[in-house]
Amino acid sequence: FSQASRFRVNGPVLTVTLKDPMVDGSSSSSPRSKWLNLDNIRPNLHWSFQSTSKPLPKWFPSLQSLQGTVGYHYDQMKRAPTFVEGGAKFRIKGDIELDVLPTYEVKSERTTLMLQISKGAAIYGMAKFRNMALEMIRGCYQVDLPYASVGAIRVTPTWNVLRGEPTCVLEGTTGSQRTKAVINLEYQNP
Protein backbone atom coordinates (compact mmCIF):
# COMPACT_ATOMS: atom_id res chain seq x y z
CA PHE A 1 0.00 0.00 0.00
CA SER A 2 1.13 3.55 -0.69
CA GLN A 3 1.07 5.92 2.30
CA ALA A 4 3.37 8.45 0.60
CA SER A 5 0.49 10.01 -1.33
CA ARG A 6 -1.31 10.90 1.91
CA PHE A 7 1.30 13.47 2.92
CA ARG A 8 2.87 16.46 1.24
CA VAL A 9 6.35 17.47 2.41
CA ASN A 10 7.67 20.97 1.96
CA GLY A 11 11.30 21.56 2.68
CA PRO A 12 13.78 22.04 3.79
CA VAL A 13 13.28 25.65 2.72
CA LEU A 14 16.38 27.81 3.24
CA THR A 15 15.99 31.55 3.76
CA VAL A 16 19.07 33.73 3.98
CA THR A 17 18.98 37.26 5.37
CA LEU A 18 22.14 39.25 4.73
CA LYS A 19 23.33 41.58 7.45
CA ASP A 20 25.91 44.27 6.74
CA PRO A 21 29.00 43.23 8.72
CA MET A 22 30.34 46.78 8.78
CA VAL A 23 27.38 47.99 10.88
CA ASP A 24 28.40 45.78 13.84
CA GLY A 25 31.78 47.38 14.21
CA SER A 26 33.31 43.90 14.44
CA SER A 27 37.08 43.80 14.52
CA SER A 28 37.88 41.18 11.91
CA SER A 29 40.93 42.08 9.89
CA SER A 30 39.69 41.39 6.37
CA PRO A 31 36.34 42.51 4.92
CA ARG A 32 36.03 39.14 3.15
CA SER A 33 36.05 37.16 6.41
CA LYS A 34 33.27 39.40 7.75
CA TRP A 35 30.93 38.40 4.89
CA LEU A 36 31.67 34.66 5.25
CA ASN A 37 30.55 34.56 8.88
CA LEU A 38 27.27 32.63 9.46
CA ASP A 39 26.12 35.30 11.93
CA ASN A 40 26.02 37.78 9.03
CA ILE A 41 24.15 35.43 6.70
CA ARG A 42 21.46 34.40 9.27
CA PRO A 43 20.26 31.16 7.67
CA ASN A 44 16.77 29.89 8.50
CA LEU A 45 15.53 26.41 7.63
CA HIS A 46 11.91 25.27 7.72
CA TRP A 47 10.64 21.78 7.05
CA SER A 48 6.94 20.96 7.09
CA PHE A 49 4.51 18.21 6.24
CA GLN A 50 0.75 18.16 5.78
CA SER A 51 -1.69 15.37 5.11
CA THR A 52 -3.52 15.54 1.80
CA SER A 53 -6.30 13.19 2.88
CA LYS A 54 -7.33 11.35 6.04
CA PRO A 55 -4.02 10.10 7.48
CA LEU A 56 -5.32 6.90 9.13
CA PRO A 57 -8.81 6.24 7.72
CA LYS A 58 -9.13 2.64 8.92
CA TRP A 59 -7.46 2.94 12.33
CA PHE A 60 -8.53 6.44 13.36
CA PRO A 61 -11.47 7.59 11.16
CA SER A 62 -12.19 10.78 13.14
CA LEU A 63 -8.70 12.15 12.37
CA GLN A 64 -9.17 14.46 9.38
CA SER A 65 -5.68 15.94 8.95
CA LEU A 66 -2.18 16.18 10.40
CA GLN A 67 0.47 18.83 9.96
CA GLY A 68 3.84 19.66 11.44
CA THR A 69 6.69 22.14 11.11
CA VAL A 70 10.26 22.23 12.39
CA GLY A 71 12.07 25.57 12.23
CA TYR A 72 15.72 26.41 12.69
CA HIS A 73 16.95 30.00 13.07
CA TYR A 74 20.74 30.18 13.28
CA ASP A 75 20.83 33.51 15.14
CA GLN A 76 18.64 32.08 17.95
CA MET A 77 19.86 28.48 18.26
CA LYS A 78 23.22 27.54 16.75
CA ARG A 79 22.90 23.74 16.91
CA ALA A 80 19.26 22.81 17.61
CA PRO A 81 15.82 23.45 16.12
CA THR A 82 14.25 26.70 17.24
CA PHE A 83 10.65 25.45 17.35
CA VAL A 84 8.48 22.44 16.62
CA GLU A 85 4.78 22.89 15.74
CA GLY A 86 2.10 20.33 15.13
CA GLY A 87 -1.55 20.17 14.35
CA ALA A 88 -4.35 17.63 14.21
CA LYS A 89 -7.97 18.10 13.12
CA PHE A 90 -10.66 15.71 14.32
CA ARG A 91 -14.28 15.44 13.22
CA ILE A 92 -16.19 14.65 16.38
CA LYS A 93 -19.82 14.45 15.27
CA GLY A 94 -21.48 15.76 12.13
CA ASP A 95 -19.87 19.12 11.34
CA ILE A 96 -18.27 19.62 14.79
CA GLU A 97 -14.47 19.74 14.55
CA LEU A 98 -11.68 19.81 17.13
CA ASP A 99 -8.28 21.35 16.30
CA VAL A 100 -5.29 20.52 18.52
CA LEU A 101 -2.25 22.76 17.86
CA PRO A 102 0.83 22.20 20.09
CA THR A 103 4.02 24.30 19.81
CA TYR A 104 7.37 23.86 21.55
CA GLU A 105 10.08 26.54 21.60
CA VAL A 106 13.43 24.88 22.31
CA LYS A 107 15.46 27.79 23.74
CA SER A 108 12.82 28.99 26.21
CA GLU A 109 11.43 25.47 26.74
CA ARG A 110 7.98 27.03 26.37
CA THR A 111 5.08 24.80 25.41
CA THR A 112 1.89 26.23 23.96
CA LEU A 113 -1.28 24.25 23.28
CA MET A 114 -4.29 25.66 21.50
CA LEU A 115 -7.57 23.76 21.43
CA GLN A 116 -10.41 24.93 19.22
CA ILE A 117 -13.81 23.35 18.79
CA SER A 118 -16.02 24.66 16.00
CA LYS A 119 -19.27 24.07 14.22
CA GLY A 120 -18.89 25.52 10.75
CA ALA A 121 -17.50 29.03 10.43
CA ALA A 122 -20.16 30.68 12.60
CA ILE A 123 -19.49 29.12 16.03
CA TYR A 124 -16.24 28.30 17.78
CA GLY A 125 -14.66 28.12 21.21
CA MET A 126 -10.93 28.26 21.84
CA ALA A 127 -8.61 27.76 24.82
CA LYS A 128 -4.89 28.55 24.83
CA PHE A 129 -2.53 27.01 27.35
CA ARG A 130 1.11 28.04 27.93
CA ASN A 131 3.27 25.66 29.97
CA MET A 132 0.10 23.83 31.00
CA ALA A 133 -1.54 26.95 32.51
CA LEU A 134 -4.68 28.42 30.95
CA GLU A 135 -3.77 31.68 29.24
CA MET A 136 -6.81 32.68 27.17
CA ILE A 137 -10.40 31.68 26.41
CA ARG A 138 -12.26 32.93 23.32
CA GLY A 139 -15.65 32.22 21.85
CA CYS A 140 -17.43 33.32 18.72
CA TYR A 141 -21.02 33.24 17.58
CA GLN A 142 -22.35 34.60 14.28
CA VAL A 143 -25.97 35.14 13.36
CA ASP A 144 -26.83 35.52 9.68
CA LEU A 145 -29.71 37.90 8.98
CA PRO A 146 -31.84 38.19 5.82
CA TYR A 147 -31.48 41.99 5.53
CA ALA A 148 -29.45 43.97 2.99
CA SER A 149 -28.39 46.58 5.55
CA VAL A 150 -27.23 44.03 8.16
CA GLY A 151 -26.40 40.59 6.77
CA ALA A 152 -24.61 39.16 9.81
CA ILE A 153 -23.73 39.98 13.40
CA ARG A 154 -20.74 38.35 15.08
CA VAL A 155 -19.90 38.46 18.82
CA THR A 156 -16.40 37.41 19.93
CA PRO A 157 -15.77 37.58 23.68
CA THR A 158 -12.24 36.89 24.95
CA TRP A 159 -10.85 36.49 28.46
CA ASN A 160 -7.08 36.85 28.94
CA VAL A 161 -6.69 34.83 32.13
CA LEU A 162 -3.08 35.87 32.85
CA ARG A 163 -3.86 39.60 32.68
CA GLY A 164 -7.42 39.29 33.96
CA GLU A 165 -8.66 41.33 30.99
CA PRO A 166 -11.95 40.63 29.22
CA THR A 167 -12.61 41.97 25.72
CA CYS A 168 -15.50 41.64 23.33
CA VAL A 169 -15.59 42.43 19.63
CA LEU A 170 -18.96 43.10 17.97
CA GLU A 171 -19.06 43.03 14.17
CA GLY A 172 -21.88 43.87 11.83
CA THR A 173 -21.58 43.10 8.12
CA THR A 174 -23.86 44.24 5.33
CA GLY A 175 -25.66 41.68 3.18
CA SER A 176 -23.25 42.30 0.29
CA GLN A 177 -20.28 41.87 2.71
CA ARG A 178 -18.67 45.04 1.35
CA THR A 179 -19.04 47.05 4.57
CA LYS A 180 -18.26 46.03 8.13
CA ALA A 181 -18.67 47.92 11.40
CA VAL A 182 -16.50 46.80 14.33
CA ILE A 183 -16.85 47.76 17.99
CA ASN A 184 -13.99 46.62 20.22
CA LEU A 185 -15.04 46.68 23.87
CA GLU A 186 -11.81 46.41 25.83
CA TYR A 187 -11.91 46.38 29.61
CA GLN A 188 -8.74 48.52 29.99
CA ASN A 189 -9.43 50.79 26.99
CA PRO A 190 -13.22 51.28 26.58
Per-residue pLDDT at 2 exceeds 50: no
Q: Would you say the C-alpha torsion 57, 63, 64, 67 has a positive or negative sign?
A: negative
Report, as an integer, the average pLDDT of 96-101. Answer: 95
What is the pLDDT confidence band of residue 1, given thresholds at 50, 70 and 90? very low
The residue count of the chain comes to 190
Confidence of residue 190 (pLDDT cuts 50, 70, 90): low
Whole-number pLDDT of residue 22: 61
Q: Check pLDDT > 70 for residue 26.
A: no
Task: Classify 148 as helix, strand or coil.
Answer: coil
pLDDT class for 32, splitting at 50, 70, 90?
Answer: low
31 pLDDT higher than 70: no
35 versus 40: which is more confidently predicted? 40
Backbone φ and ψ for 15, nearest 5 degrees, come out as -120, 130
Q: What is the pLDDT of residue 93?
A: 86
Distance CA 65, CA 50 (A): 8
pLDDT at 168 over 90: yes
Does the pLDDT value for residue 35 go beyond 90? no
Measured CA distances, 16 to 13, 19, 33, 80, 136 (Å): 10, 10, 17, 17, 35
